[in-house]
């Protein structure tokens, strides 16, 4: 049965306490051909800095791999648990084998340890980090608080990281390419719509805006998302009534619905004009019964 390592133990408990990639303190178990080793498909880090990889490859050409990678037996091959960057750089350097430490590690702990390694060395971009947190929570059933405790991070830090996954894929890609920071992303998340978030993110990248400038612009992009209320067409009966009243009173009259109330607006120019309208309306009110009977 695979030995459970525990999330908090990390790599130190498995590899003798070394925490530097170039440390020579760890004695490898053996040397394995690179062809016998395969990367872990669940590796939380998806993007490797090509320039940094080339620099490491040059160092390996001159000095060799000074710290073994951590692997586990997987079928007839070996799977990388930690150290894929050294593995990739060794391939670039033209090496045929690499020193390894072989451990019996469970499927669950493989991802945990790979995530911890990258977090300890700050190798993950914010989106990779957030995806790693989500995967750990989904696989282990831990709460955000428990994950934060295991990784020495606060629960709000875990929650803020996970919120980045609410961003549109286009914006997440900008973050993976280091065009946007987590601070920019939090400001962009204040915009409610996906379209508005994409537009603001693109403006940040195009104009090289600071986080503060992005925070200032976010409300403007939020206002752009708000659709004006649909105008309800005026009923034909209202239009006919307004036309009849205009003819009868010899002034402009509007019949309309405003804030869920029906209203009649009668215009007048002067006090004398108002008195004339009152007199006309009074006559209609007092004589309306007789007019109806005569009709």
Q: What is the pLDDT along the chain (295 residues), one digit of tens a residue?
A: 333 334 444 445 544 443 334 344 567 788 999 999 998 877 666 677 788 889 899 999 998 998 899 899 988 999 998 888 899 999 999 999 999 999 888 877 777 777 776 666 556 788 988 988 888 788 778 889 988 887 778 999 999 999 999 999 999 999 988 899 999 999 999 999 999 999 999 999 999 999 999 999 999 888 765 665 667 777 888 888 888 888 888 899 888 877 678 888 888 888 888 888 888 888 877 765 444 444 3
Q: Tabulate helix, strand, coil % of the chain (nearest 5).
A: 55, 15, 30
What pLDDT is attached to residue 224? 67
Nearest-CA neighbor of 109 among 146, 140, 144? Answer: 140
Alpha-helix residue ranges (DSSP H) falling in 43-97: 50-63, 84-92
Q: Give the CA radius of gyration of the chain.
A: 36
State the DSSP code for 194. Answer: H
State the Cα–Cα distance between residues 80 and 71, nearest whole angstrom. 4
| Angle formed by the axes of helices 236-249 and 271-294, nearest 10° | 110
Bridge partners of 262, per DSSP, are: 257
Instruction: Phi first, then psi: give them for residue 239, nearest 5 degrees.
Output: -65, -40
> Which residues are tagged catalytic?
84
Query: How would you class 136 by CB atoms within 10 Å of its CB: exposed for 0-12, middle for 13-18, buried for 19 or more?
Result: buried
For CATH 3.90.1530.30, list the domain ranges present in the chain: 7-124
Q: How far apart are CA 106 and CA 98, in angstroms?
A: 23
pLDDT of residue 282: 85
Residue 286, H or E segment: helix 271-294
Handedness of CA 108, 113, 114, 115 (dihedral sign): positive
The dihedral region occupied by 275, where left means phi > 0, alpha psi between -120 and 50, and beta the remainder, is alpha
Three-state DSSP at 61 gives: helix
pLDDT of res. 289: 46
Q: What does DSSP assign to residue 240?
A: H
Instruction: Return the SS3 of 218.
Output: helix
Q: Which two tokens stand for residue 21?
A: 């990639």
pLDDT of 1: 38
Q: Which CATH class is domain 7-124?
A: alpha beta
Is the sign of the CA dihedral 286, 290, 292, 294 positive or negative?
A: negative
């Amino acid at each position: 049965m695979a030995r459970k390592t525990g999330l908090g133990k990390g790599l130190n408990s498995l590899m003798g306490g070394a925490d530097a990639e170039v440390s020579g303190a760890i004695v490898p178990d053996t040397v394995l051909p690179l062809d016998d080793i395969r990367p872990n498909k669940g590796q939380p880090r998806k993007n490797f800095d090509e320039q940094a990889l080339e620099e490491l490859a040059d160092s390996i050409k001159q000095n060799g791999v000074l710290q073994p990678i951590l692997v586990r037996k997987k079928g007839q091959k070996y799977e990388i648990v930690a150290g894929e960057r050294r593995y990739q750089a060794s391939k670039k350097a033209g090496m045929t084998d690499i020193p390894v430490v072989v451990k019996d590690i469970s499927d669950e702990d493989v991802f945990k340890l790979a995530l911890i390694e990258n977090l300890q060395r700050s190798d993950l971009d914010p989106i990779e980090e957030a995806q790693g947190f989500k995967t750990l929570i989904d696989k282990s059933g831990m709460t955000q608080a428990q994950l934060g405790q295991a990784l020495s991070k606060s629960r709000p830090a875990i929650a803020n990281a996970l919120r980045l996954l609410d961003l549109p894929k286009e914006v997440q890609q900008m973050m993976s390419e280091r065009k946007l920071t987590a601070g920019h992303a939090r400001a962009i998340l204040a915009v409610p719509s996906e379209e508005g978030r994409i537009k603001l993110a693109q403006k940040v990248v195009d104009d090289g805006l600071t986080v503060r400038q992005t925070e200032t612009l976010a409300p403007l992009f939020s206002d752009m998302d708000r659709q004006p209320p649909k105008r309800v067409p005026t009923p034909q009966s209202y239009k006919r009534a307004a036309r009849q009243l205009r003819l009868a009173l010899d002034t402009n009259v509007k019949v309309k619905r405003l804030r869920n109330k029906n209203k009649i607006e009668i215009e007048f120019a002067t006090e004398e004009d108002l008195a004339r309208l009152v007199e006309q309306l009074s006559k209609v009110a007092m004589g309306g019964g007789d007019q109806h009977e005569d009709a």
